[in-house]
Chain A
Amino acid sequence: MGDQSNSPSSSIDSSSHPALCSPSSIFQTRRDLLSTDLKLGLGLSTSALHGCSSKEREQLSHWPPIKPLLRSTLEEKVHRSHSKTFFVKVYMEGLPIGRKLDLFSHNGYDSLMRTLRRMFRTTITCPDTSRVPPEKAHVLTYEDEEGDWMMVGDVPWEFFLRTVKRLKITRADKC
């Protein structure tokens, strides 16, 4: 929950708000636990919940009130992009030293191609639209989760992100 600590909502001083002057102590503990929980996101950290019963932990996690189908759709999106970065190795044929590239910082194939062209100072083309003779052209391939080397660009970007393990720029006449 990012900047929660700076927003007025989570730092209401109990003395400044009349309604909070005399909450039950259990209620106050629950509030503190819940706002801590929200700060840490729903990955419940055991240190934050020390002293919190398993029941309370369960209660705190039934929020927000959304149905299971939506919840699982959103959780899957989080798991996919849980790290904000996704670095893969990129090799160009003939060069022993590879580079690393963050795929999450790109929103599609066009953006990826532009970055690679800049990184390797070469033209990388989609083989069907190429006007460059095959001996000079390079194409982009990737290794998928099954270990096969595939042409980049055939599947939707989201799919690609799920299966790509590493990239290789090869000469077009090899494909």
Chain B
Amino acid sequence: MTYFPEEVVEHIFDFLGSHRDRNAVSTVCKAWYHVERFSRRNVFVGNCYAIRPERVMARFPGMKSLSVKGKPHFADYNLVPYDWGGFALPWINAAVRRCPGLEDLRLKRMVVTDDDLDLLARSFPNFRSLVLVSCEGFSTDGLAAIATYCRGLRELDLQENEVEDHGRQWLSCFHESCTSLVSLNFACLKGEVNAGVLERLVARCPNLRSLKLNRAVSVESLNEIVARAPYLVDLGTGSFAVDHHTDAYQRLMNSFSKCKSLSSLSGFWEASPHCLDAVYPVCINLTVLNMSYAPAIQADDLIKLISLCFKLQKLWVLDCIGDKGLAVVASTCKELQELRVFPSDIYGAGATSVTEEGLVAISSGCPKLNSLLYFCYQMTNAALITVAKNCPHFTRFRLCILDPWKPDPVTNQPLDEGFGAIVRSCKNLRRLSLSGLLTDQVFLYIGLYAKCLEMLSIAFAGDSDKGMVYILKGCKNLRKLEIRDCPFGDFALLNDVAKYETMRSLWMSSCDVTLGGCKALAAKMPRLNVEIINESEGSDKLEENISDLHKAEKMYVYRTVAGPRNDAPDFVWTL
């Protein structure tokens, strides 16, 4: 390939879409490394502490689009303390110095402050797209800075962030001349916005295709918006609190019937049963429907809605849909690829919920299903075996049985055979989450069959160290392993320490690993950061007299070329 001029090689590399492919070609030879690094436009950093930002920017001077992830995944479930880390500032600073042509920034599970957003807004004249997912540390003041200074902003997408509300004026900061918005998502904001400002913003952005309103946006406002943006493709409805006896409701129904392009709906925060009728006209075009924030909508109304959605590809619902509702999904939504069923009653007995029957119905009715997240109160081996047979194409299979250690209620057996069938049948499985009563046997199966597995989440499972050893030995492509409340200890942790350099990260909490075990791991593997999160009162330093036999409550291990991080708070000990 060195016979080709660099422009030709670069052009060939243009066809490589994924980061992994580009990473792979850059290791072939020096020439390819150089061509690749100057031509890479999209840079993805899976762990912000794995490499220093300056090094990334130095290697890819042509970077236009940066995506960085911070905290470990279990931070989503409050297992990581608030000020653990994952700060955006070093990355923004480095980009300001080295890559002023930055256009897109995507941050996930990171701490972003208002000052960071202000710096970002003022520093990149070509900035087009900001996506913040599960971030925290900023307020609407930071959003005001983005709105004010990012002329030409095309996308502001805020997903599931913790945003402090400092008032409604941030939206007014979008200049009158700002007409470039394509996507605006502020569904996670708690505060109000000025309805008139919002409506005018929507009216002057002819390219707006995705708009997700927050709960505070009233139906009257929604009406105005939908009337002015009939080309919307993706809509988050805001509160949707409307009495179906009113004129407002009639107007809403008329507006929706004019939205010929609408294919994705979400929101419905305050929706009550009868008002869903307004949405019926768009159902036949829907490919994405997210009703997971509408606990007032019960099975019968969901069924009426879904039975019109023949083209649905992605469905997120609460478990009040019931097995009956899932049967309707199975018979109607033949194009379904992704299903998520969330629990609606996390305190109760699950009187209205789904069981293994619903899942079996879906598996037999929806041949294209490849991604599942399913919360339920019970599951049987027989059902899982049937699902495995019906759906060999799963790439993501996450089952959460809400009672830990719950066995198959019919046979009283662990669910090893059921999950074993899943991994045996689904040869392309990349992500798996386990639950229910599970012995070491299930890990034997996973190690044996789940050769494509990249991410595994385990909770309240296994009998002994053997379980974890099976996983580490068998899953050649494992990148992320997260474990909580399992009886895995130092033997499993230290069994194959080199393995962790082939992975992005390992999380273990409430397991049996000890401080001594973690120290041993850190000593053997200098290119891993072994962090212990210690939250007990009065222990801010790694005391000499804390015994090595003391259990490590929370341990996070990740490969890095950046060395131990210098921004760790007192309760995080890097060994």
- Chain A residues with CB under 8 Å of chain B are 1-4, 7-10, 12, 17, 19, 23-24, 27, 30-31, 34-35, 38, 41-43, 55, 59, 62-71, 73-74, 77-78, 153-159
Closest to B463 in A: A19
The reply on B536 being an interface residue by CB < 8 A is yes
CB atoms of A24 and B270 under 8 A apart: no
Known: A63-B459, A74-B343. 4 other contacts (CB 8 A): A41-B347, A66-B342, A68-B160, A77-B295
CB atoms of B407 and A23 under 8 A apart: no
CB atoms of B292 and A12 under 8 A apart: no
CB atoms of A156 and B272 under 8 A apart: yes
Contact indicator per residue, chain B 138-165, by CB within 8 Å of chain A (1) or not (0) = 0000000000000000000000101000
Instruction: Determine the chain B residues whose CB is within 8 A of the CB of A153 once the complex forms.
Output: 243, 245
> CB within 8 A of A68: which of B162, B404, B412?
B162
> CB within 8 A of B243: which of A19, A55, A155?
A155
CB atoms of B349 and A65 under 8 A apart: no
A-B contact pairs, 19 of them (CB 8 A): A2-B351, A3-B349, A9-B407, A12-B405, A19-B414, A31-B405, A34-B404, A35-B403, A41-B347, A62-B77, A64-B375, A65-B400, A68-B76, A70-B292, A77-B295, A77-B296, A155-B243, A156-B241, A158-B296
The reply on B540 being an interface residue by CB < 8 A is no
Q: Which 7 A-B pairs have the closest CB atoms?
A: A2-B349, A41-B347, A9-B406, A65-B77, A77-B295, A19-B439, A156-B243
CB atoms of A2 and B295 under 8 A apart: no
The reply on B62 being an interface residue by CB < 8 A is no
A75 to B345, CA, bound (A): 9
CB atoms of B78 and A68 under 8 A apart: yes
**Min CB–CB distance A127 → chain B (angstroms):** 13
CB atoms of B347 and A42 under 8 A apart: yes
**Min CB–CB distance B490 → chain A (angstroms):** 14
A59/B134 contact (C-beta < 8 A), A9-B409, A156-B243 known: no
CB atoms of B347 and A8 under 8 A apart: no
The reply on B487 being an interface residue by CB < 8 A is yes
**Min CB–CB distance B485 → chain A (angstroms):** 7
A130 to B169, CA, bound (A): 44
A4 to B347, CA, bound (A): 12
CB atoms of A27 and B487 under 8 A apart: yes
A66/B77 contact (C-beta < 8 A), A19-B439, A159-B241 known: yes
CB atoms of B160 and A69 under 8 A apart: yes
Question: Interface residue count for B (Cβ, 8 Å)?
Answer: 53
Counting chain B CB atoms within 10 Å of each CB, the highest count among A9, A12, A55, A71 belongs to: A9
Counting chain A CB atoms within 10 Å of each CB, the highest count among B76, B243, B378, B512 belongs to: B243
CB atoms of A67 and B349 under 8 A apart: no
> CB within 8 A of B134: which of A2, A10, A67, A77?
A67
Closest to B159 in A: A69
CB atoms of A158 and B241 under 8 A apart: yes
Contact indicator per residue, chain B 291-310, by CB within 8 Å of chain A (1) or not (0) = 01101100000000000000
Closest to B293 in A: A73
CB atoms of B403 and A157 under 8 A apart: no
Instruction: Determine the chain B residues whose CB is within 8 A of the CB of A69 once the complex forms.
Output: 160, 188, 293
The reply on B423 being an interface residue by CB < 8 A is no
The reply on B88 being an interface residue by CB < 8 A is no
Closest to B509 in A: A59
Task: Scan residues 180-239 of chain B and give those whose CB is less than 8 A from a CB of chain A.
Answer: 188
Closest to B298 in A: A107
CB atoms of B349 and A64 under 8 A apart: no
Contact indicator per residue, chain B 237-276, by CB within 8 Å of chain A (1) or not (0) = 0000111010000000000000000000000011010010
CB atoms of A30 and B485 under 8 A apart: yes
Contact indicator per residue, chain B 378-390, by CB within 8 Å of chain A (1) or not (0) = 1000000000000
CB atoms of B412 and A8 under 8 A apart: yes
The reply on B553 being an interface residue by CB < 8 A is yes
A30 to B487, CA, bound (A): 12
Instruction: Determine the chain B residues whose CB is within 8 A of the CB of A27 once the complex forms.
Output: 487
The reply on B79 being an interface residue by CB < 8 A is yes
**Min CB–CB distance B69 → chain A (angstroms):** 16
The reply on B65 being an interface residue by CB < 8 A is no
A24 to B487, CA, bound (A): 8
